[in-house]
Amino acid sequence: MANKRTVFFVSDQTGVTAETMGHSLLTQFDGLDLSPVTLPFISTVDKAAQAVMRINSAAREDGARPVVFSTLVDDEVRAVVMQAECLYLDFFEAFLGPMEQELGQSSSHALGRAHGMTDVAAYTARINATNFALANDDGSQTRDYERADVILVGVSRSGKTPTCVYMALQYGIYAANYPLVDDDLESRRLPAMLEPFRGKLFGLTIRPDRLQQIRQERRPDSRYSSIAQCNYEVRAAEQLLERYGIPFLDTTDTSIEEIASRVLERKGIGRRARP
Amino acid sequence: MANKRTVFFVSDQTGVTAETMGHSLLTQFDGLDLSPVTLPFISTVDKAAQAVMRINSAAREDGARPVVFSTLVDDEVRAVVMQAECLYLDFFEAFLGPMEQELGQSSSHALGRAHGMTDVAAYTARINATNFALANDDGSQTRDYERADVILVGVSRSGKTPTCVYMALQYGIYAANYPLVDDDLESRRLPAMLEPFRGKLFGLTIRPDRLQQIRQERRPDSRYSSIAQCNYEVRAAEQLLERYGIPFLDTTDTSIEEIASRVLERKGIGRRARP
């Protein structure tokens, strides 16, 4: 194991972009002992000076230069942070130059536009979509399938809810979900309320042993979490989906981001809101 | 208004990082007529060649070179996409070199690590936190405040639910929320069930006119959506929060990302899972 190395995500806003960027890059390196620190809202020269102190102090403690991922827009603020004892990787600095040239205009160097409220319509779309996902979640009374962009179907704990919520928050997609329960599986028929919406259906499935693990945490040693029940439900659900020609995806080794992205790709649904 | 310009987000994985990066940068330019297209899962030379065809075709249609934000890890795949008629901005290409030098090792150039399943523990934490947020949402029966990292309080439609869900999905934070209703506001006392958890409370407030707008969409022309009721609730809620010394934030002109980030910062809560 390498020595400890501190990683900073520095931003004049929330730090989400710097974190996304940094983690993506760091996954390309193995065996590092990293200690991540997010410094959000570094919007003034004073706050920048405080950030420098924290970075330099980590450099001394670790005996190694921290890696700083930065999304600082303001030139003065950036100039301060760049003085720190670190490998300084600035996202705006790297890309804004070529973009200005290509687009034939100067960038506004405006603070806090990333993830700001520049696009109120997209923001409202994401909030509305999130409320829709929660109102149309597993077992809820609301079944507003008319407005749904997609309806995820699958057995309990196959990943439907987190995927719906993620698609709503990230893309403003209206995603409902319907849990396939014993009655549905035994009848071997598509539930009647889903019939009019067959074009919107997408199935999620999961390996029975993983399902058993997840259910075991929730209701230990129940029929619900027995391997026999998990085997039965997964097999019956997959047969049902195949019989009706509903596309489906195994979520077992798949992140929420990837499940969401694959659902949108295979259903040909565009992103409604900007992330 | 400028001419139409197509923007591509090209990735061997979901495209989330490329989208986040691209949108952040594009907010720095005004008055562009952009048409965004995400091309996820470009993991082979064949798929790269198809991507090139789409990019070139957009270049011809727009009469302007598309801007391509890419997070391609594989050198061969990247070499193909770079041939397209476009401004090619590659995230890995720009930053991996300096990182390799600093960290004293070659990057693995492994596909699909960003947002992949490299960190199963973080993935499980995010799923569990999302389930916690939904189980402990507005008006639910579950009130598992012992396990909560933070409990958001505020009037109905002040932004509590999307913020809780976002903190769960993005950071694996256990966030519950409690709606302040008329009874709570009239008593002018902190609800008894919140008393033992005062250190975990954080308030969200909102401008009454914005609240009225949001509620009007939900239940038009009701007492609930009247400006008098919105004025009363917001004033009473803020007074209650102040009386008990509970920190709070106005969500009116604030994105979900920023609300979440400020809550974590002010409560001193660390990110539990990697985004």
> Which domains, ranges and CATH numbers included, belong to chain A?
4-103 (3.40.50), 120-267 (3.40.50)
Of all residues in chain B, the one with the smallest CA distance to A40 is: B261
- Asked if residue A116 has pLDDT above 50, the reply is no
pLDDT tens profile B200-218? 999 999 999 999 998 998 8
- Asked if residue A194 has pLDDT above 80, the reply is yes
Please report which confidence band the pLDDT of residue A73 belongs to, taking 50, 70 and 90 as the band edges: confident
Measure A188 CA to nearest chain B CA, in Å. Answer: 29
Give the pLDDT score at A117. Answer: 44
> Cβ contact (<8 Å) for A103 and B5?
yes
Average pLDDT on B75-100 reads 92
- Asked if residue B1 has pLDDT above 60, the reply is no
Q: What's the whole-number average pLDDT of chain B?
A: 89
> Cβ contact (<8 Å) for B67 and A99?
yes
B54 lies within 8 A of chain A by CB: no
Give the pLDDT score at B210. Answer: 92
Chain A contacts in chain B segment 72-91 (CB below 8 A):
73, 87, 89, 91
Q: Hey, what are A170's tokens? A: 């990230």
% of residues, chain B, pLDDT over 90: 59
Give the pLDDT score at B116. Answer: 45
Give the pLDDT score at A126. Answer: 85
CB A106 within 8 A of CB B32: no
Short-list B181, B187, B184, B194, CA closest to B143: B194
Give the pLDDT score at B253. Answer: 85
Please report which confidence band the pLDDT of residue A269 belongs to, taking 50, 70 and 90 as the band edges: confident
A118 lies within 8 A of chain B by CB: yes
> Cβ contact (<8 Å) for B40 and A265?
yes
pLDDT tens profile B150-194? 999 999 999 999 999 999 988 899 999 999 999 999 999 999 999
- Asked if residue B92 has pLDDT above 90, the reply is no
Of all residues in chain B, the one with the smallest CA distance to A89 is: B95
- Asked if residue B129 has pLDDT above 80, the reply is yes
- Asked if residue B81 has pLDDT above 60, the reply is yes
Measure A95 CA to nearest chain B CA, in Å. Answer: 7
Please report which confidence band the pLDDT of residue B198 belongs to, taking 50, 70 and 90 as the band edges: very high
Region of poorest pLDDT, from A69-73, A90-94, B139-143: B139-143
CB pairs under 8 A between A and B: 222
Measure A130 CA to nearest chain B CA, in Å. Answer: 7
Please report which confidence band the pLDDT of residue A62 belongs to, taking 50, 70 and 90 as the band edges: very high
Please report which confidence band the pLDDT of residue A137 belongs to, taking 50, 70 and 90 as the band edges: confident
Give the pLDDT score at A115. Answer: 45
Q: What is the 3-state secondary structure (H, E, C) of chain B?
A: CCCEEEEEEEECCCCHHHHHHHHHHHCCCCCCEEEEEEECCCCCHHHHHHHHHHHHHHHHHHCCCCEEEEECCCHHHHHHHCCCCCEEEEHHHHHHHHHHHHHCCCCCCCCCCCCCCCCHHHHHHHHHHHHHHHHCCCCCCCCCHHHCCEEEEECCCCCHHHHHHHHHHHHCCCEEEEECCHHHHHHCCCCHHHHHHHHHEEEEECCHHHHHHHHHHHCCCCCCCCHHHHHHHHHHHHHHHHHCCCCEEECCCCCHHHHHHHHHHHHCCCCCCCC
Q: What's the whole-number average pLDDT of chain A?
A: 89
Please report which confidence band the pLDDT of residue B115 belongs to, taking 50, 70 and 90 as the band edges: very low
Please report which confidence band the pLDDT of residue B67 belongs to, taking 50, 70 and 90 as the band edges: very high
A167 contact residues in B (CB cutoff 8 A) = none
> Cβ contact (<8 Å) for B99 and A67?
yes
What whole-number distance in Å separates Cα of residue A266 and Cα of residue B4? Answer: 27
Average pLDDT on A17-21 reads 88
Best mutation target, A28, A73, A92, A266, to test chain B (most B CBs within 10 A): A28
Short-list B165, B185, B197, B188, CA closest to B267: B197
Region of poorest pLDDT, from A34-43, A111-120, B4-13, B247-256: A111-120
Taking the mean position of all CA atoms in its chain, how far away is CA A167?
8
A169 contact residues in B (CB cutoff 8 A) = 162, 165-166, 169, 256
- Asked if residue A113 has pLDDT above 60, the reply is no
Give the pLDDT score at A124. Answer: 78
B111 lies within 8 A of chain A by CB: no
Q: Hey, what are B183's tokens? A: 């009874």
Give the pLDDT score at A263. Answer: 95
Chain B contacts in chain A segment 225-254 (CB below 8 A):
253-254
Please report which confidence band the pLDDT of residue B110 belongs to, taking 50, 70 and 90 as the band edges: low
Give the pLDDT score at B191. Answer: 92
B221 lies within 8 A of chain A by CB: no
Give the pLDDT score at B2. Answer: 57
Give the pLDDT score at B119. Answer: 60
- Asked if residue B141 has pLDDT above 70, the reply is no
B117 contact residues in A (CB cutoff 8 A) = 253-255
Average pLDDT on A35-58 reads 95
Region of poorest pLDDT, from A179-193, B43-57, B108-122, B133-147: B108-122
Of all residues in chain A, the one with the smallest CA distance to B66 is: A102
Candidate ranges A222-236, B105-119, B246-260; pick with highest mean pLDDT? A222-236
pLDDT tens profile B26-57? 888 888 888 999 999 999 999 999 999 999 99
% of residues, chain B, pLDDT over 70: 92
Give the pLDDT score at A141. Answer: 64
A105 contact residues in B (CB cutoff 8 A) = 29-30
What whole-number distance in Å separates Cα of residue B202 and Cα of residue A31? Answer: 38
What whole-number distance in Å separates Cα of residue A138 and Cα of residue A180? Answer: 10
B169 lies within 8 A of chain A by CB: yes
> Cβ contact (<8 Å) for B95 and A25?
yes
Considering the entire predicted model, what is its pTM?
A: 0.79
Give the pLDDT score at A21. Answer: 87
- Asked if residue A161 has pLDDT above 70, the reply is yes
Residue of higher predicted confidence among B81 and B274: B81
Measure A221 CA to nearest chain B CA, in Å. Answer: 19
Average pLDDT on A214-237 reads 93
> Cβ contact (<8 Å) for B28 and A110?
yes
